[in-house]
Structure 1
Amino acid sequence: MDVQASTKKVAVITGAGSGVGKAVALALIGDGYHAVLAGRRAGMLDEVRAQAQALHGAADRVLCVPTDVGDAAAVEALFTQAVSQFGRVDVLFNNAGRGNPPGEFTDWTAEQWREVVDVNLNGMFFCMQQAFRVMRSQTPQGGRIINNGSISAHAPRPNSIAYTATKHAVMGLTKTGALDGRKYNIAVGQIDIGNALTDLASRMGKGVPQANGEIAVEPLIDVAIVGESVRYMASLPLEANVLFHTVMATKMPFVGRG
């Protein structure tokens, strides 16, 4: 793919219809980016575009592409549309993910396991693969990929084996991508988020199981803080990379023995 030079800053954001993806999309759009919003539900992507227009007058800089990241052909089509519309891709926020199936893993079906792996691992790989193909071919060459890992990329919660296993795997994608991206001027990093207030994490404020078997309420941070963290990572020149960035509620029970 021979992509010509452009003065635009272009970001592809997966899982952009809600939560962390939405916060990052609005932060990058506010910073002047052209944004390609990917997610399964078109209506939610349209709502983010409408909010970008209300906040920044930027609807013309936003392209919505409904996408199942677990489908390699759909991901290829996503990046083809991004390049066709805006000419290049400077940033991929590789964010789409899903939580753990309910209950203990001994009771899961094979399909429940595969559904998590298809989104959290395969989808991350397909998006990174397509971003590499675009970024190595465009002029100027290169770009930045920011994978959404998790605190669970470092330490599990009880009954979280599918989510935790895939997030540990994302760390492997990040490290290997950072190595393989050097020759193409592609910087690959990861943000690990602890307890940002989204629909997925709202249960933390009601009480969740701890490693010692207790149920405890955990503090949360505004998801806009995550958007600003990714905006900072994306703002660096390509000769600098944040390989791992952890942003979390200060009193979250992550470090130590609590």
Structure 2
Amino acid sequence: MPESAQSPSATAGARVAVVTGAGTGIGRAVARAFLDEGWAVVLAGRTRATLDEAAVRHPLAHCVTADVTDRDDVEALFAAAVERFGRVDVLFNNAGVPGPQGSVDELALADWERTLAVNVTGAMLVAGAAVRTMKAQRPQGGRIINNGSIAAHRPRPRTAAYAVSKHAVTGLTRSLALDGRPYGITCGQIDIGNAATALLSDLGHGGGHVQPDGSLKIEPTFDVAEAARTVVFMASLPPNAVIGEVTLTAAGMPWDGRG
């Protein structure tokens, strides 16, 4: 349900972005970067308090609590965006969970299903609602940017559920790019490695990250603001240009083979 509103005159002429998982991490940084660039932003997430903190009472921010795995919540999110701002120009399809630690023989079915529910089914539900909204805006169309991960290319050890989910996001991205073409809807993906967020810290063990040989290593990171700046750049391209895929990692981090 929509939970904040500002004067329509404050948003006249602004481009409109919907950001899921906007209360923390990469989503929070991206939402703030959009606001700094003069975009109107619908910040979506499950926790109102973190959304309010991310929105910083900005006149172009509109907070909506939503669970991306709930179809009704997702539909209400886009209805709220259209009601508040009249359209949706860009979706940053970002909400996700890190999933359980473990190789495939060790995973509990419930943990596997939860990871896929958020990272794959949730991404599909949000993208589907965005496409329906953008089709209704023709000839304007719109743009979708999916947050993949470096794990869409190379998994970390013992992260089978997350790696599978992010490979699936790549399939979703490519399908959206193809199916959206007749409607002026573009889709690209950003695959980020080692942006400094709480999620990256959660993946660490004893002050380091597990390497393929079982050792722990402190890996380099980069400021999450750089990831946000890249997303805003992708979003700001003219309709006849699209970045299909971009990989942004910390310089010197283990990548190919993760070693």
The secondary structure found in structure 1 opposite 2:19 is strand
Q: Distance in 1 between matches of 2:143 and 2:71?
A: 20
Which residues of structure 1 form unaligned runs of 5+? 1-5, 54-58
Aligned AA for 1:210?
Answer: Q
TM-score by length of 2: 0.91
1:224 has 2:225 as partner: yes
Aligned AA for 2:84?
Answer: Q
The secondary structure found in structure 1 opposite 2:44 is strand
1:32 has 2:38 as partner: yes
1:253 is matched with 254
Instruction: Report the CA distance shift for 1:195/1:76 in structure 2 as closer, same or farther (over 3 A).
Output: same
Determine if contact 1:36/1:65 at 8 Å carries over to the other structure: yes
Q: Distance in 2 between matches of 1:39 and 1:170?
A: 19
2:240 is matched with 239
The structure 1 residue matched to 2:53, chosen from 32, 47, 63, is 47
Q: Distance in 2 between matches of 1:107 and 1:163?
A: 14
Determine if contact 2:154/2:258 at 8 Å carries over to the other structure: no
2:133 is matched with 134
* Range 190-199 or range 137-146, more displaced: 137-146
Q: Distance in 2 between matches of 1:178 and 1:140?
A: 17
Q: Distance in 2 between matches of 1:19 and 1:39?
A: 12
Instruction: Report the CA distance shift for 1:257/1:160 in structure 2 as closer, same or farther (over 3 A).
Output: closer
Shift of 1:213: 2.0
The secondary structure found in structure 1 opposite 2:238 is coil
Determine if contact 1:39/1:67 at 8 Å carries over to the other structure: yes
Determine if contact 1:144/1:188 at 8 Å carries over to the other structure: yes
Which residues of structure 2 form unaligned runs of 5+? 1-11
Determine if contact 2:134/2:142 at 8 Å carries over to the other structure: yes
Aligned AA for 1:224?
Answer: A
Aligned AA for 2:16?
Answer: V
Shift of 1:204: 4.7
Q: Distance in 2 between matches of 1:235 and 1:189?
A: 12
Aligned AA for 1:142?
Answer: G
Q: Distance in 2 between matches of 1:35 and 1:235?
A: 14
Determine if contact 2:156/2:258 at 8 Å carries over to the other structure: no
**Identity across the alignment (%):** 50
Shift of 1:105: 4.0
Q: Distance in 2 between matches of 1:234 and 1:227?
A: 11
Instruction: Report the CA distance shift for 1:153/1:256 in structure 2 as closer, same or farther (over 3 A).
Output: closer
Shift of 1:255: 3.0
Q: How many positions carry a matched residue from both structures?
A: 246
Determine if contact 1:195/1:204 at 8 Å carries over to the other structure: no
The secondary structure found in structure 1 opposite 2:251 is coil
Q: Distance in 2 between matches of 1:229 and 1:214?
A: 32
Output the aligned Cα RMSD: 1.5
TM-score by length of 1: 0.91
Shift of 1:199: 0.4
Q: Distance in 1 between matches of 2:178 and 2:213?
A: 38
The secondary structure found in structure 2 opposite 1:159 is coil
